[in-house]
Amino acid sequence: MGQTLYDKLWASHLVHLEDDGTALLYIDRHLVHEVTSAQAYEGLREAGRKPWRVDSVVATADHNTPTTNWDEGIEGVRDPFAKLQIQTLDANMREFGAKVYFPFLDKRQGIVHVIGPEQGATLPGMTVVCGDSHTSTHGAFGCLAHGIGTSEVEHVLATQCLVTKKMKNMRVNVEGPLARGVTAKDVVLAIIGRIGTAGGTGHAIEFAGSTLRALSMEGRMTVCNMAIEAGARAGMVAVDETTIAYLKGRPFAPKGAEWDRAAAYWRTLQSDPGAKFDREVTLDAREIKPHVTWGTSPEMVVAVDEAVPDPDREKDSLRREGMERALKYMGLTPRTPITDIPIDKVFIGSCTNSRIEDLRAAAAVVKGRKKSSSVRLALVVPGSGVVKQQAEREGLDRIFRDAGFEWREPGCSMCLGMNPDRLEAGERCASTSNRNFEGRQGPGGRTHLVSPVMAAAAAIEGHFVDIRKWTGSPS
């Protein structure tokens, strides 16, 4: 019987298997950041243990770093606790070491899920872990990549293995061309809307079909990034020529004859014909419209030409109560058209949508126009220093600035609001990030998840618009 891509990745990393299915799985790449690693290194120190393979570690500070005041150095980090976490990571890197460390202020620093692929430190066929649930992003390269907790970070550091059990196989097929203005973000929001936030729990999801094949690596990363919002720890896409072309020449990618050997192996990283999936779901890409979340869970999502749903029409009482609570928190009235919802702030960034392609798409919408006067802040936070430099070479920073947007230093920023970039209570944000949970972007803040082009257009108009029909206000 044929194997799935996940079956192959699993089998090629299996070190030890207990009778009950508990496995030791070998880890190739361990991404480390400042918020979930301190306690792990402390644990190693207390037990007198050393990292098993320092060369597997790629580290950076991204979660709590400020996006302004970089000229002041570490003193620009005003929050003393954030500063302590950054300095603790610096100290742990000095003590324990890494393959490469991009500290705060380094030109190649950035969101860990942006810099891994960008540096060629994420390669097809790897197992990749990080103390961050959006590690699923790296599955776009035909990797088995998932988020782990801090105890597991310590375990991987000490043993180079993860104690885990095999997940079930799920395949989500998306077939057909996407309409103009419909992006990878809308594809994944549509998938979550279909299967729910727990729809992939216990499964590794392979995203497949002609729509996925046609996406760039940036788009595939956006889709895999949000696999966790569908409950799946790991999402992945099979390797093809798009994958290989993206990696060629990256700093940590193999070179010369080794590149040829590696690429030949990587091309085998696909599900075999006839491989068995425990669950399959198929979506028609032609039916996917731009999506906007209305509630406090990513599954609370509708197409932009729809309206805020009415809880009175929900028969399940627990679901109805959840909807009512979400609408109260979001300050929304049932049956309000999505395009009538006004916006206070716009955030373009995060490990979901902060890569060069995302910034180019948003800039194309913004070019020659002005941010609506009713929008207090439109923030653009590039995913990494490398993305930022590339965007500046292309003049994207000028386009955003001329339109009244703020152009910031890289980091996770307002996706989770651990740094000073936050929503105030009651503020409503069109955000390209991945979670619309209560308080995610700041206590009392109201998040609507959208694509970069939808966020950019909302910034111009001051409310959501259907990007497919939008012709733009005169500047």
Partner 1 sequence: MDRFTVLNGLVAPLDRANVDTDQIIPKQYLSSIKRTGFGQGLFAEWRKDPGFVLNQPRYQGASILLGRKNFGCGSSREHAPWALMDFGFRCVIAPSFADIFFTNSFKNGFLPVVLAEAEVDRLFDECNAFPRFHLVVDVERQSVSTTNGETSFRFEIDPFRKYCLLNGLDEIGLSLRHADKIRAFEDKRRAQYPWYY
**Contacts (CB under 8 A) with partner 1, residues 106-145:** 123, 125-126, 131-133
Strands of 14-17's sheet, edge to edge? Answer: 14-17, 23-26, 161-164
The least distance separating partner 1 from the CB of residue 344, rounded to whole angstroms, comes to: 20
Touching partner 1, residues 443-462 (CB under 8 A): 443
Amino acid identity of residue 131, one-letter, is: G
The least distance separating partner 1 from the CB of residue 370, rounded to whole angstroms, comes to: 32
- Name the residue nearer to partner 1 (CB basis): 447 or 451: 447
Decide: is 159 part of the binding site for partner 1 (CB under 8 A): yes
- Name the residue nearer to partner 1 (CB basis): 52 or 394: 52
Amino acid identity of residue 179, one-letter, is: A
Binding footprint of partner 1, residue count (CB under 8 A): 76
Alpha-carbon separation of residue 457 from 189, 349, 403, 404 (angstroms): 18, 15, 12, 13
Q: Considering only residues 147, 219, 290, 383, which one is a binding residue for partner 1 as defined by CB under 8 A?
A: 147
Touching partner 1, residues 216-235 (CB under 8 A): 228, 231, 233
Q: Considering only residues 3, 52, 168, 370, which one is a binding residue for partner 1 as defined by CB under 8 A?
A: 52
User: Look-up: residue for tokens 């992939």?
Assistant: 200
CA 297 to chain centre: 16
Separation CA 157–CA 37 (nearest Å)? 10
Decide: is 328 part of the binding site for partner 1 (CB under 8 A): no
Touching partner 1, residues 295-324 (CB under 8 A): 297, 318-319, 321-322
Decide: is 85 part of the binding site for partner 1 (CB under 8 A): yes
Phi and psi angles of residue 114, each rounded to the nearest 5 degrees, phi first: -95, -45
Q: Considering only residues 418, 423, 459, 467, which one is a binding residue for partner 1 as defined by CB under 8 A?
A: 418
The least distance separating partner 1 from the CB of residue 242, rounded to whole angstroms, comes to: 19
Burial of 20 (0-12, 13-18, 19+ CB in 10 A): exposed
User: Look-up: residue for tokens 């009651």?
Assistant: 426
Decide: is 251 part of the binding site for partner 1 (CB under 8 A): no
Only segment of 48-56, 186-194, 216-224, 397-405 that touches partner 1 (CB under 8 A): 48-56
**In 261-408, at which residue ranges do the beta strands (DSSP E only) sit?**
279-284, 291-293, 301-303, 345-348, 377-380, 406-407
CA 179 to chain centre: 23
Q: Considering only residues 54, 158, 179, 307, which one is a binding residue for partner 1 as defined by CB under 8 A?
A: 158
- Name the residue nearer to partner 1 (CB basis): 34 or 218: 34
3-state secondary structure 268-279: CCCCCCCCCCCE
- Name the residue nearer to partner 1 (CB basis): 39 or 68: 39
Separation CA 400–CA 380 (nearest Å)? 8
Strands of 428-431's sheet, edge to edge? Answer: 406-407, 377-380, 345-348, 428-431, 446-449
Instruction: Please state at what angle helix 217-225 crosses helix 356-366, rounded to 10 degrees.
Output: 100
Distance separating the N- and C-terminal Cα atoms of the chain: 60
- Name the residue nearer to partner 1 (CB basis): 397 or 421: 421
Residues in the chain, overall count: 475
Decide: is 424 part of the binding site for partner 1 (CB under 8 A): no
The least distance separating partner 1 from the CB of residue 213, rounded to whole angstroms, comes to: 25
- Name the residue nearer to partner 1 (CB basis): 226 or 450: 226
Phi and psi angles of residue 256, each rounded to the nearest 5 degrees, phi first: 60, -135
Only segment of 24-32, 274-282, 353-361, 391-399 that touches partner 1 (CB under 8 A): 24-32
Separation CA 130–CA 62 (nearest Å)? 13
The least distance separating partner 1 from the CB of residue 40, rounded to whole angstroms, comes to: 9
Q: Considering only residues 74, 95, 151, 376, which one is a binding residue for partner 1 as defined by CB under 8 A?
A: 151
Decide: is 16 part of the binding site for partner 1 (CB under 8 A): yes
Decide: is 423 part of the binding site for partner 1 (CB under 8 A): no
Decide: is 28 part of the binding site for partner 1 (CB under 8 A): yes
Decide: is 46 part of the binding site for partner 1 (CB under 8 A): no
